[in-house]
Amino acid sequence: MTNTLDRRTLLRVAGASAGTAVLAGATLAAGAPASAAGAAFRHGVASGDPLPDGVLLWTRLTPTDEAQPGSGVGPDVDVTWQVSADPDFATVAAQGSLTTGPARDHTVKVAVTGLAPATTYWFRFGYADGWSPTGRTMTAPPVDADIDRLRLGVVSCANWEAGYFAAYRHLAERGDLNLVVHLGDYLYEYGTGQFTAGGTVVRPVRPAHETLTLTDYRARHALYKSDPDLQALHAALPWVITWDDHEVANDQWSGGAENHTPGTEGSFADRVAAARRAYAEWMPVRTGADGAIYRRLRFGRLAELSMLDLRTYRSQQASGVAVDDPRRTITGDAQMSWLKSGLAAATARWKLVGNPVMIARLDIGALPSWLLGPLGTLLGIPENGGVLNADQWDGYNADRNELVDHLRATGTRDVVFLTGDIHTSWANEVTTRATGPWEPAAAEFVVPSVTSDNVNDFLGLPAGNALSALGAGLLRSTNPHVRWTELDGHGYGVLEVTRQRCRMDWYHLADRTRAATASRWVAGWSVGAGSATLRRESAPLV
């Protein structure tokens, strides 16, 4: 949608005498200062996609001054890596080396295996007798472990030009999180001045023009990973990430994008290939042999997390009654089959879905045709009413109906969608014609943008203005399954998963244009096990 390493966290097994494993926070010790050689690791370190026996590690090396990101020059060099269960690396649990060079933009990605489950580890990379900054990560618990609690930081939509990534800093400093889930728009493709903070460029992007080529996308990734708050959060916690549209171009679909003009910007297929290659190089994410990014991770018996790709396989956006066409898809057939079968077969209590765009209905301007009956068909009203944003699941009603019908037919409960994209905060119940208005099939928590413009920014008004408040009220009154929405705040979410409930807390920044800005708790909503009905919480998580 356009329009220091003193960090605490991570997973530790405790309470073994009671026969249960508890995910608990721990204090992140400061890593040793980087040596002159270690200063070559200018883009930090990161980890991602934890498994019970391993985790993915990432860094980028600048071995010579000319070997800048996207330059395509510089020597092939050997990089070592170490993983240890203690911060001073007195005992090394795993280590190795590999060669990197300009062919992969001097990035390093290592899939470490042979580690112990549910264990906190420190990691670092070595080059020319020096070490990178130290990162901290965790492995997932065994698939059959009884986990009492899991806490996730949840983020989406970080536009460099619109502000500072203070949301990442606040998450890195919490000390109670086990994982970060990023739901897409990790970066933006626009040239400088094309998508700003309500018309103001807070800090200009590099390259200054829109990203189109492999060189462009590599340089943009490098810019984002130069941000100290982003580096801190990557070094403090493992991330699980998916992409949305801006990792390529706005409103992307399988054959094009709103923000791509073939006549002047070349082949869209070439642009996608460049963007996907840079993403694979620069992000701590596992992809399939065919480049597929949708995947599933498990955290004991407590939760499974299915991460979706809603850009690569989708049909072009449509309007009017075309949004009901069963030939159109947002997931693609293979991913839909994978999602349905995985949710139905899951043995974990909670089925979390990393969902880049909103799945809950948003009926605008007319009642849904399934409430109007033949009159709705006669008037040409889409099944779920007028569509405000056809880039969401609202533009692909058949896929949403198929998924919800499957959940109901298989008796699949405790499904919670974690959503980004629309830069605003929502607590929704997922309903369709099959469920009726009052029998939701799943819950959905939508997090705000880290920095990207939202309603008051587009209106040129201060946060909490009367128009935004009126709009939120109208949305809730015409959509009873929307239990809460706030349209102005930027920030992040914190999700707590226990056996009894799944709860999201929303935190908003005081001023996204200030690096040192504070954040505040604005709301909490939860869903109990066995139910899809949301409940408002009266105080923040402790």
For residues 238, 242, 248, 252, the Cα torsion angle rounded to the nearest 10 degrees is -160
Burial 113-124 (b: 16+ CB within 10 A, else e): eebebbbbbbbb
The listed range with the strongest mean pLDDT (35-44, 355-364, 462-471, 510-519) is 510-519
Ramachandran region of residue 377, left (φ > 0), alpha (ψ -120 to 50) or beta? Answer: alpha
pLDDT of 239 strictly over 90: yes
Q: Rounded to 5 degrees, what are φ and ψ at 39? A: -65, -15
Give me the pLDDT at residue 367, please.
54
CB 242, CB 221: distance < 8 Å = no
Per cent of the chain over pLDDT 70 is 89
For residue 491, the SS3 value is strand
For residue 211, give the amino acid letter. Answer: T
DSSP 8-state assignment for residue 106: T
- As to burial, measured by CB atoms within 10 angstroms (0-12 exposed, 13-18 middle, 19+ buried), residue 201 is middle
pLDDT averaged over every residue in the chain: 90
Give the separation between CA 59 and CA 392, rounded to whole angstroms. 34
142-154 tens-digit pLDDT: 999 999 999 999 9
Query: What is the rounded CA–CA span in Å between residue 357 and residue 221?
Result: 22
8 A C-beta contact, residue 329 and residue 395? no
Q: What pTM value is reported for the model? A: 0.92
pLDDT at residue 39 is higher than 90? no
The number of beta carbons lying within 10 Å of the beta carbon of residue 313 is 18
Whether omega for the bond prior to residue 207 falls within 30 degrees of 0, making it cis, is: yes
Contact indicator for 414, 528 with CB cutoff of 8 Å = no
Confidence check: pLDDT of 315 > 60: yes
- State residue 1's pLDDT score: 42
CATH code 2.60.40.380 region(s) in the chain: 31-140
Q: Which CATH number fits domain 31-140: 3.40.50.2300, 3.40.190.10, 3.40.50.2000, 2.60.40.380?
A: 2.60.40.380
Q: For 48-64, how does the pLDDT look when each residue is reduced to its tens digit (9 = 90+)?
A: 999 999 999 999 999 99
Given a contact cutoff of 8 angstroms between Cβ atoms, the answer to whether 441 and 408 are in contact is yes
pLDDT > 90 in the chain, percent: 82
pLDDT at 517 over 70: yes
Confidence category of residue 140, pLDDT binned at 50, 70, 90: very high
DSSP 30-44: PPPPP-TTGGG-TT-
Interaxial angle between packed helices 333-345 and 397-409, expressed in degrees from 0 to 180 and rounded to the nearest 10:
20
Alpha-helical segments (H) within 346-495: 369-372, 374-379, 397-409, 455-459, 466-478
Residue ranges, CATH 3.60.21.70, the chain: 16-30+141-537
The amino acid that residue 250 corresponds to is N
429, 481 Cβ separation under 8 angstroms: yes
Rg (CA), the chain: 23
Q: How far apart are CA 522 and CA 464, in angstroms?
A: 12
Find how far residue 384's CA is from the centre of its chain. Answer: 27
Rounded-to-integer distance, Cα 471 and Cα 199, Å: 22
Confidence of residue 294 (pLDDT cuts 50, 70, 90): very high
Q: Give residue-wise pLDDT tens across range 92-111.
A: 999 999 999 999 999 999 99
Instruction: Assign domain 16-30+141-537 one CATH number from 3.40.640.10, 3.60.21.70, 3.40.50.1980, 3.40.630.10.
Output: 3.60.21.70
pLDDT band at 364 (very low <50, low <70, confident <90, very high): confident
DSSP code per residue over 175-196: S--SEEEE-S-SS--PPTTSS-
Q: Using one digit for the tens of pLDDT, what is the confidence trace for 166-176?
A: 999 999 999 99
Q: Are 175 and 526 in contact (CB under 8 A)?
A: no
The sign of the dihedral angle between the CA atoms of 11, 151, 123, 281 is positive
